[in-house]
Amino acid sequence: MDKEKKFYTTSGIEIKRVYVPNKETNHCGEDGSLPGEFPYTRGIQSEMYRTKLWTMRQYAGFGTPEESNARYRYLLEQGQTGLSVAFDLPTQIGYDSDHEISQGEVGKVGVAIDTLDDMELLLKDIPLDQVSISMTINSSAAILLAMYIVMAKKQGIPLEKLRGTIQNDILKEYIARGTYIFPVEPSMRLITDIFQYCSGHIPKWNSISISGYHIREAGANAVQEIAFTLANGITYVQAAVDAGLQVDDFAPRLSFFFNAHNHLFEEVAKFRAARRIWAKLMKERFGAKNEKSMMLRFHTQTAGSALTAQQHENNVVRVTIQALAAILGGTQSLHTNSRDEALALPNEDSVTIALRTQQILAYESGAAETADPLGGSYFVESLTDEIEVKALDYMEKIEKMGGVAKAIEKGYLQKEIQDSAYRYQREVEEKRRIVVGVNSFETEEKKSGNLLRVNPEVEENQKKRLAVYKKNRNQENVKLALEALREACGKDHNLMEYIIKAVEKEATLGEICGTLRQAFGEYVQTVNL
């Protein structure tokens, strides 16, 4: 997209940068703002996609680092503009592939990363100073980030050139997803340590992606998704401020991760309302002065929970609607799910169609040619206002309980999500909500062919590689680095420096997480819902 370029409809009508009610007011929307103006209801940039499209960031990872690397390079060749890494469950909960708890799960829902060597294989021949990398990892985020940093150092890439995001959002794991390791307090410490390290060493890196995606996937509705996500955001900002950080030193690198579901207009309104709430919170509650601290920047993924195994080709249409909602709502990057993900990890043909969906929307639909195309719509503006009011009501209730941690302890957030999921399922079962191919317009199912299956030899091969890695390193150096980390846990030290040192000495992800487990203990879900 080019700032000087003019856009026209197929009939030759010129498309303006932005549309407003009339020449006198030159503004649009309830708050009277234009795109790029506080409180950013209409978008965080004045031109939006006219000058720069969203990042097309397809989420991928499976089997071995080599297999995932091949998929990344394929996607980049097809026009993807950013990478997003999916890790397997053992990696997510801090266990090496040779641990007994990892049995049967190695490489299954993402790539297995045990060592620095694995990380180097994963991103082989990918220019780290040119491609933005997103890593969906939370409990063990500090270790994966440390591996990435050490790898960049070995390649001679200045850290200030690294661009990307580490999800690093532990609160939503307690609320909705369950891949936590440590209790809440030490987990929050690790997060603020990452904030502090990134602000001083990796200025272009997003140190957290506060995620509503998994909250929505667990059954929350649109209002709950942004309410609970922004409440988590408040908790992270307050923790960083309490740790002595200045809000404008870290807030510009905060990012969010939202779901795009099927109701086109509600989803657009949800994104607009979230931006407005966050801007006001950062300015009025936390005293942010830097405009970038007030801008809610977000990645969107289309709704995995909306994909159906029945008539799975229909998912292409669902994903298109959801992606359009994200674009009309002003997302900064986007992942489009593949048609076969309700059945298996996506095959190459499926991920290509998913990427092409974004490209068609970008270059053929006209949705990218004016900022906030639905701004001023009676329906969308009304929905935006109503969602804002309802979300703020939830956030106020959480505040009165003593904040997110207390609300988690009481099981409030979990129960609200469960009740929402139950209501939705009842609506489907009673046909008050139609899902095409599931409860209406059903057909006899054909067997799905060409599904991707992870090679069962992946686990054994990964274990063998890990054994060789451990055998060839200096064991004493590893021991000393892990002891230094354990001691630092009991002191007021930033743990990122010690984790990076442990990675440099070739400690594995499981060994580093094991050391932290010894120091912090493990979180156990005790709420009886």
Which contiguous run of DSSP H or E holds residue 284? none
Q: DSSP for 440-499?
A: BS--PPPPPPS-----TTHHHHHHHHHHHHHHHS-HHHHHHHHHHHHHHHTTT--HHHHH
Distances (CA, A) of 311 to 201, 443, 445, 448: 49, 8, 7, 10
Smallest Cα–Cα separation from 273: which of 165, 389, 193, 358?
A: 389
Rounded average pLDDT over 454-469: 92
Helix (H, G, I), strand (E, B) or coil at 87: strand
What does the alpha-carbon distance between residue 87 and residue 107 come to, in Å, rounded to a whole number?
A: 8
User: For position 527, what pLDDT does the model report?
Assistant: 54
Rounded average pLDDT over 216-244: 96
Helix 378-400 × helix 222-242 angle, to 10°: 50
Residue 501: both structure tokens together: 């040192």
Question: Domain 7-429 class?
Answer: alpha beta
Report CA dihedral (217, 78, 456, 473) to the nearest 10 degrees.
Answer: -100
Q: Is the pLDDT of residue 525 over 90?
A: no
pTM: 0.92
**pLDDT grade for 2, boundaries at 50, 70 and 90:** low
Residue 65: both structure tokens together: 């680092």
Where does residue 520 fall: left (phi above 0), alpha (psi -120 to 50 degrees), or beta otherwise?
alpha
Residue with tokens 């997510």: 92
Q: Is the pLDDT of residue 134 over 70?
A: yes
Beta-ladder partners of 57: 82
Q: Is the pLDDT of residue 24 over 60?
A: no
Is cis: bond before 39, omega within 30 of 0?
A: yes
Q: Which amino acid is at 509?
A: L
What's the mean per-residue pLDDT of the chain? 94
Q: Is the pLDDT of residue 345 over 90?
A: no
**pLDDT grade for 313, boundaries at 50, 70 and 90:** very high
Q: Write the pLDDT tens digit of every residue in 390-423.
A: 999 999 999 999 999 999 999 999 999 999 999 9
Helix (H, G, I), strand (E, B) or coil at 137: coil
**pLDDT grade for 26, boundaries at 50, 70 and 90:** very low
Helix (H, G, I), strand (E, B) or coil at 118: helix
Three-class SS of 91-112: HHCCCCCCCHHHCCCCCCCCEC
What does the alpha-carbon distance between residue 326 and residue 132 come to, in Å, rounded to a whole number?
A: 20
Q: Please answer whether residues 141 and 171 qualify as being in contact, where contact means their C-beta atoms are separated by less than 8 angstroms.
A: no
**pLDDT grade for 28, boundaries at 50, 70 and 90:** low
Residue with tokens 């206002």: 385
Q: Is the pLDDT of residue 487 over 80?
A: yes
User: For position 415, what pLDDT does the model report?
Assistant: 96
User: For position 5, what pLDDT does the model report?
Assistant: 85
Rounded average pLDDT over 231-255: 95
Beta-ladder partners of 259: 301
Q: Write the pLDDT tens digit of every residue in 282-295.
A: 999 999 999 999 99
